[in-house]
Amino acid sequence: MGKWAPLLLAAVLSTAFCCTRGGIPTTLDGPFKPVTVNAGFRGKAADLPDSDPRVRRRVNGFEPEQISVSLSATEDSVYISWITGEFQIGDDIEPLDPETVASIVRYGRRRHSLNNEAAGHSLVYSQLYPFEGLQNYTSGIIHHVRLTGLKPNTKHYYQCGDPSIPSMSKTHKFKTMPNPGPTRYPKRIAVIGDLGLTYNTTSTMDHLRRNKPDLIMLAGDVTYANMYLTNGTGSGCYSCSFKNSPIHESYQPRWDYWGRYMEPVISETPTMIVEGNHELELQAENKSFVAYSSRFAFPSEESGSGSTFYYSFNAGGIHFVMLGAYTSYKKSGEQYKWLERDLANVDRSVTPWLVAMWHPPWYSTYKAHYREVECMRVEMEDLLYSYGVDIAFCGHVHAYERSNRVYNYTVDPCGPVHITIGDGGNIEKMAVDHADEPANCPNPLKTPDKIMGGYCGFNFSSGPAAGKFCWDQQPEYSAYRESSFGHGILEVKNETHALWTWHRNQDWYNSAGDQIYIVRQPEKCHVKPESLPRN
């Protein structure tokens, strides 16, 4: 199409946007006719090399590095995390002793008055492979310190490290979340997925930083360290290149590279993460998800879950539930029981917005990972619907897609808007084929997720999915889809309106690739009585 491509793209976008609220559509104007944009810019996925100065170690001795901030369950508390000491990789490794370096944070509301002090805990983890030729790994000392009694919606300053060495970081800052309430929200929340550490990642993060978010949400697949052999050799297709590997190896230094690259952002912007399939990283003694569970701090205990796979927290008038797709989600399991308790305790007069995040999407129309976690949807969708979840964010599929409000494959004005945001910049290729295109429909028996297993495709006897596994055109629940790298920004305006904007990497920094007001209708969409305010 050549020179006409930009004009055709503009025409497609103009038909997708109707003229409400200053030209931005709202979900009340929907459901919208499905739109597919095929003019996406994908670029070549190439990881940053270990020689890139942005991933090299820039500290000495036991000075802190890979510093990050994450939220606790409530607005008056955060976690500060960092690493001291060097990782080791090879045949003969000796783990560092966490007791040799203290975990101290000094903090306050003025840069030069860090009069408060908190202590935390530290740990070291290893990634071990009992096979000839494979290299073992042991991390530096990972520190987690919880700060409490903070003033909500306020900028705080901090240094972390061990003052007795002395070895303290430079001064960083962060801003706490607002108090819960129907009129109080963080200004901008960035949403990304399947980020990795490629040159596309750097473009995503450059765009994201320009939007100055107050909170970052990452929907899994963080570093893609498991796309490398333990000798550092990488591949965009592990199974293609490493067929003879006795175990699926993972090159753990990529985690350290990622922490160093991301530190300028995540040391000052709270970042919340949920696990993806690339965090599995199976090792000796059948251990898995060790790096993920060790490197990040999670409000698991505070939110009553006790698991790094699923937890919840508040950000002003938003209650977030982070769900685990790679642990049991059955109704008889601990996660489901926790979710029932958590949702029943949400007071929608205080936190009107209910947002969920997990890694593999339930409503993606791409061929890649199509209906892969149908079992999770069958187990959990009724519960999320009954409590009136407003938005569900997922990654896994390396593309962007936004649904109409949907429940059980049927357009429903009270169902959540499902957003797939797995386009952060990963080393694997973009998803470009759609399951509804000729010859693209996968074999249903081969679609279940390999980690969780099981086949749950038994719900096609009624409704719009009757007798079908794939649609013969873009399904009516799919409002917009495009194969381009990017990130999203959620701006909750009040108790009923939230502006969602998706930004492509190839556009100007202030351009919107997809934009809509997501509108709640609490008077129309009633939730379970258990979640209503109690007297």
Active-site positions read 369
Give the rounded distance of the alpha carbon of 139 from its chain centre.
23
Residue 147 burial by Cβ neighbours in a 10 Å radius (0-12, 13-18, 19+): buried
Residue 255 burial by Cβ neighbours in a 10 Å radius (0-12, 13-18, 19+): buried
Helix 199-210 to helix 253-266 angle, to the nearest 10 degrees?
A: 20
Per the structure block, which two tokens stand in for 421?
């945001």
Residues 6+ apart with CB under 8 A from 446: none
DSSP string, 330-379: STTSHHHHHHHHHHHT--TTTS-EEEEE-SS-SS--BSTTTTTTHHHHHH
Distance CA 248, CA 474 (A): 36
Q: How many Cβ atoms are within 10 Å of 31's Cβ, its own excluded?
A: 16
Residues 6+ apart with CB under 8 A from 408: 381, 459, 463
CA distance readout (Å), 141 to 95, 135, 225 = 9, 19, 19
Q: 505: closest CA among 284, 232, 203?
A: 203
CA distance readout (Å), 467 to 377, 451, 459 = 18, 27, 9
Cβ–Cβ < 8 Å for 314, 272: no
CA distance readout (Å), 307 to 284, 292, 338, 522 = 21, 12, 10, 31
Residue 125 burial by Cβ neighbours in a 10 Å radius (0-12, 13-18, 19+): middle
CA distance readout (Å), 345 to 325, 341, 369, 496 = 22, 6, 33, 20
Write out 166-204 in H/E/C secondary structure: CEECCCEEEECCCCCCCCCCCCCEEEECCCCCEHHHHHH
Beta-bridged to residue 160, according to DSSP, are 105
Distance CA 189, CA 502 (A): 12
